[in-house]
Amino acid sequence: MSGQLTVRPLTRQDYGEWLPLWDGYNAFYGRSGPTALAGEITQMTWSRFFDAYEPVHALVAECDGKLQGLVHYLYHRSTTSIVPSCYLQDLFTTKAARGRGVGRALIEGVYERARQAGANRVYWLTHETNHTAMQLYDRIGERSGFVVYRKMF
């Protein structure tokens, strides 16, 4: 990466470069091979970014004409606030972009858009083994202390 890093909204023309990033993100979390997301989930996710009625959004980091990372986020209501909350759902950078400020730039891009949307917080989850990412997260956010429980159907 030698040029200027730009964080910008995803466009329809980005699909060919977004898809390998999306696949890399899913592989990182064990969703590849036999456990890969169904193709229709990827297609629905992609279409939601361009549907004005969906609260799901995407930014990409670009340098030298190549996508270096992605971030997906969404807005939702809360029972403890009048203004929306922003959930940063997916964050991924290429291996070559790691440690070069791309992840931070993408998160800060979400922060800025959340402020513009009137949200009062941005929050996200990561796996407890994602120590590299947690080094960044500990510098630009705060741990809430909450533990996540789930039941899959």
Give the chain's mean pLDDT.
94
Tens digits of residue pLDDT in 43-100: 999 999 999 999 999 999 999 999 999 999 999 999 999 999 999 999 999 999 999 9
The pLDDT of residue 33 is 80
The pLDDT of residue 95 is 93
Scored b (16 or more CB within 10 A) or e, 96-131 reads ebbebebbebbbebbbebbeeeebeebebeeeeeee
Confidence of residue 1 (pLDDT cuts 50, 70, 90): low
Assess whether pLDDT exceeds 90 at residue 125.
yes
Q: What percent of the chain has pLDDT over 90?
A: 86
Q: How far is CA 115 from CA 61, 83, 90, 112, in A?
A: 19, 11, 19, 5
- Of 43, 45, 49, 47, nearest to 9 by C-alpha is 49
| Domain locations along the chain | 6-140
Assess whether pLDDT exceeds 90 at residue 37.
no
Average pLDDT for 130-134: 92
The pLDDT of residue 134 is 94
State the pTM of this model: 0.93
- Spelled out in words, what is the top-level CATH class assigned to the domain 6-140? alpha beta
